[in-house]
Amino acid sequence: MKTLSDENRKNLDFYLASTESDNLQEVRECRLIKQVKTRYQNEVMLITINPPIAGEPYGLGSKLIDTVMTTPRHQGRTLFPVSQWPLSVYVVRLLVDFQKIDNIVYKGEYELIDWAELYKTREEAIRIISVQLGGREEFLKNCNVPK
């Protein structure tokens, strides 16, 4: 797994993990690429994530997903600025190269893959996910959390 240097880690924007999806329980470092919009939603973040999401559950075989879009799951919540932490979001994979996206992502260029939450800190994400998992030892060990 590719990890970020300590200097790059200081510049992380937030973290992504899910209390509702087995595929996204692992805490992921996120970096904002830019704000984009769809026909239906102006509150859309284009982000890179580390570690990437395994593509297998989404029919992508061994391909990894390292760039996704997020948008708030609940009406009245915002990403610009983030209205509350943690923030429940839809996680959407791109069907086109993100570098070809200007400011609008069109129908047919993206697909909903899961639900997750954005967290301000890694520690907050680990704490909340581990509570949801009943403090499962294997999860905590994989997160390098001291007992």
93 within a domain of the structure (yes/no): yes
Give the H or E element holding residue 112.
strand 110-119
Whole-model pTM? 0.81
122 within a domain of the structure (yes/no): yes
82 within a domain of the structure (yes/no): yes
Structure tokens at 6: 């300590």
70 secondary structure, DSSP code: E
The string of pLDDT tens digits covering residues 3-52 is 444 444 455 689 999 988 888 889 999 999 999 999 888 899 999 999 99
More confident site: 27 or 2: 27
Indicate the number of domains in the chain.
Answer: 1
The string of pLDDT tens digits covering residues 46-76 is 999 999 999 998 888 999 999 999 999 999 9
Short-list 10, 17, 56, 48, CA closest to 32: 48
DSSP E strands, the chain: 14-17, 28-36, 44-54, 64-72, 87-94, 110-119
The residue segments making up the domain with residue 19 are 6-142
CA 118 from chain center: how many Å?
7
1 within a domain of the structure (yes/no): no
147 within a domain of the structure (yes/no): no
CA distance 35 to 74: 18
